[in-house]
Amino acid sequence: MPLTPLPLPDPGSPDLTTPLGFLRWLSRSQRRGQVLATCWGVLEMGCQAALPLALGLGIQGAVDGDTAAILRAGALAVLLAAVQATGTVLLHRQAVWNWITCAAHVRQLVARQASHLGAGLSSRIATGEIVAVSSGDVEKIGWYVELTARVRAAVIVWLGVSLVVLVRQPLLGSAVLLGVPVLAASVWPLLGPFERRYAEQRALGGKATELAADTVAGLRVLRGIGGEKLFLDRYRAASQKVRGAAVRAARIWSLMQAQQVLLPGLFVVGVTWYGAHLAATGRLTIGELVAVYGATAFLAAPLRILGEAAHAWSVARVSAGRATRVLALRRTADTDAADAALTRPERSDLHDPLTGLTARAGRLTAVVCGDPDFAGALAARLGGHVPRAEDEQPTPSVRLGGTPLDRVPLADARAAVLVHDKEPVLLSGTLAELLDVPGAGRVDLADALAAARAEDVLDALVDGSPECDGDPMRARITERGRSLSGGQRQRLALARALVADPPVLVMDEPTSAVDAHTESRIAAGLRKLRGGRTTVVLATSPLLLDQADTVVLIQDGRVVADGTHRDLMADEPRYRAVVTREDDPAPTPTTPTPTPAPGAPAAGRTPEEAVCASQEG
């Protein structure tokens, strides 16, 4: 069966009620592959179980001196071996297909979920957890789903062998029929401790992965402050915890493996001894003894599969639990509600009933929050990207023109409101590919780059890409823009957002990594280019705040003041304390904030902060 159906046109709606329900749903989604794998497994193991019968007939023919019986037994053995080889090839091929299909299916579900939830996903699920689910966990889930077909085949062949032996020798048949499930069940007491230790290992592994991802992302800063050794020691400590947890899980697994070798071996010895006793007393022929021994020894194969299934079940249930936690996150509204439609979003006010914030249509609204984390969460909320778990109580949705954003189809909501993150991601490729985003066509690419003051960024890209022949649009950007400074990456991302020209643009600290002079020019260009469009800027920089039509102060999760920047500086001590970073919020005489000269520090910044921002930009 070729892999042509991948990726799936529609991964479907999985059962997320329990990890077991999710695993069953995955098995049902590939019924044809499961049936084929079961058939090939029965063919392969059935021939393997019947091969001792042919050998027994040949040995009995040799004892009786019957040449024809020997030839018939030899021909039967060759036929069974050929069919078994064919079944092995087909089973392996189908099993790998089932495994890959299931793993790809889960990855596609996780990727769809990440795209559906957007930036809000990382606020609820750690990055390391998502990486672990989309890498190691999908392999464990695929392994279990693939193994279920082989388990069914092993059970069918075991019942067939037991029935044949039961007809010939009732006592031996009863031993075979009852012995296998008893031996298989003997491993279950170890599954609970193994599952707990494996869950601990996976949780620690996710934390270590998250720490490694954060360290790599902040490597430039770590080198600048000499913090590499500190984070290296932290990662070593985290990895040692993972190693210790893995060793503890491996100890239980080694006991399970030893049990799977010892108990079936004792079972085969006991059955063979009793069969030899029957042969010695004349109640069993030599050929039948060989056949019984071979059939009993074959039962080690189904037992190994059942033991593998017990291991796969333990790890898959842990992995499926992690996957369902990611896939169970939903947008903030009731998912059963009918979709609503947006009417003229470019002329609609954006209102958040949770904080009381209202961004008027066609105006530039600045929002000042004392807590940067709250500002980031508010930006995600204004875009309707905040996910929630199934059992979590929904909060009032942000409304655009009176319509709840989380009841609008996702594509329509994202087309109406674009959230520009504080740390936007630049994908690798050419600059033309980076800026090739759907837009209204109202903003020219050159105007967007000029408003973002990205002239020096274009020069840097041309210098770093000799193959572009002086055309910055053909210059290549490395993964996540690591070859650029933080300020350069920020300005390219800002130009990308401006080119998209959404009806509502929400930006979280869009100029935090640039110097004061560049920030002043960006603020002016932003106001000019976004004229007539609804724009929300979450910032504390006076240079941005002075360009806003309305400035809103949020404290303790609620709007406490609004007005122009200069009015609030004069009349609102809480606002002044946040913007100027004063410890004493007592009112002091203020003067209008002048536009700083090139190289001068921005208001509200210390000279050291301005120097750091200038170097970063």
Chain centroid, CA 567 distance in Å: 47
**SS3 state at 296:** helix
- Please determine, for residue 205, whether its predicted confidence score (pLDDT) is greater than 90: no
What is the C-alpha to C-alpha distance for residues 157 and 149, in angstroms, rounded to an integer?
13
Indicate whether 466 and 547 sit together in one domain: yes
- pLDDT bracket for residue 339 (50, 70, 90): low
351 and 297 within one domain: no
SS3 per-residue string spanning 227-261: CHHHHHHHHHHHHHHHHHHHHHHHHHHHHHHHHHH
Chosen domain end from 275, 298, 327 = 327
* Range(s) of the domain holding residue 425: 345-616
Q: Give the residue from 327, 360, 391 where a domain finishes.
A: 327
The average pLDDT across 324-341 equals 67
Which range is least confidently modeled, 145-149, 393-397, 599-603? 599-603
**What is the model's pLDDT at position 553?**
95
287/418 same-domain check: no
Question: What is the three-class DSSP state of 478?
Answer: coil
Residue 162 domain-assigned (yes or no)? yes
The one-letter amino acid code at 535 reads T
pLDDT, one tens digit per residue, over 279-300 is 787 777 777 777 777 777 777 7
Does 432 lie in the same domain as 372?
Answer: yes
Q: How many CB atoms lie within 10 A of CB 358?
A: 16
The verdict on 24 and 82 lying in the same domain is yes
**Could you tell me the pTM of the whole model?**
0.64
Cα 476 to chain centroid, rounded: 28
Residue range 487-512, pLDDT digits in tens: 889 999 999 999 999 999 999 999 98
- My answer on whether 105 and 210 are in the same domain is yes
Q: How far apart are CA 561 and CA 90, in angstroms?
A: 72
Distance CA 361, CA 477 (A): 35
Q: Is residue 371 part of a domain?
A: yes
Q: In this predicted structure, what is the pLDDT of residue 616?
A: 42
- Does some domain include residue 334? no
Domain check: are 294 and 400 in the same one? no
Looking at the structure, do residues 135 and 242 belong to the same domain, yes or no?
A: yes
User: Are 265 and 369 within one domain?
Assistant: no
Residue 605 has pLDDT above 70, yes or no: no
How far are the Cα atoms of 66, 214, 228, 333 from residue 220, in angstroms, in the given order?
84, 11, 10, 40
Edge-to-edge strand list for the sheet holding 550-555: 417-420, 504-508, 534-538, 364-369, 550-555, 558-563
At residue 359, does pLDDT exceed 50?
Answer: yes
Check pLDDT > 50 for residue 614.
Answer: no
Residue 538 lies in a domain: yes
* Residue 264, pLDDT above cutoff 60: yes
CATH code, domain with 525: 3.40.50.300
Higher pLDDT, 275 or 596: 275
Q: Is residue 384 part of a domain?
A: yes
Residue 3 falls within a domain, yes or no?
A: no
Q: What is the pLDDT of residue 129?
A: 67
- Count of domains in the chain? 2
Q: Which residue has the tokens 């399970």?
A: 256
**Which tokens in the block code for residue 60?**
């009995």
Taking 60 as the threshold, does the pLDDT of residue 29 lie above it? yes
In the structure, what pLDDT confidence band is assigned to residue 119 with cuts at 50, 70 and 90? low
Residue 141 and residue 88 share a domain: yes
Predicted confidence band of residue 336 (pLDDT cuts 50, 70, 90): very low
Task: Verify that 70 and 172 share a domain, yes or no.
Answer: yes
Question: Collapsing DSSP states into helix, strand and coil, what is residue 404?
Answer: strand
Residue 78, both tokens:
């060759």
Question: What digits encode the pLDDT tens for the residues 50-98?
Answer: 888 888 888 888 888 888 888 998 999 899 999 999 999 999 999 999 9
Confidence band, pLDDT 50/70/90 cuts, at residue 122: low
Cα(89)–Cα(499) distance, rounded to whole angstroms? 55
Check pLDDT > 80 for residue 206: no
**4 is a domain residue:** no
Residue 176: which CATH number? 1.20.1560.10
- C-alpha–C-alpha distance, residues 407 and 418, integer Å: 17
Helices (H), 472-606: 486-500, 516-529, 542-545, 565-571, 573-580
| 109: pLDDT strictly greater than 60 | yes
- Side chain identity at 540, as an amino acid letter? T
For residue 97, being part of any structural domain is answered with yes
Does residue 112 share a domain with residue 158? Answer: yes
Q: Which residues contact 44 (CB under 8 A, 6 or more apart)?
A: 84, 87, 88, 90, 91, 153
pLDDT value at residue 594: 44
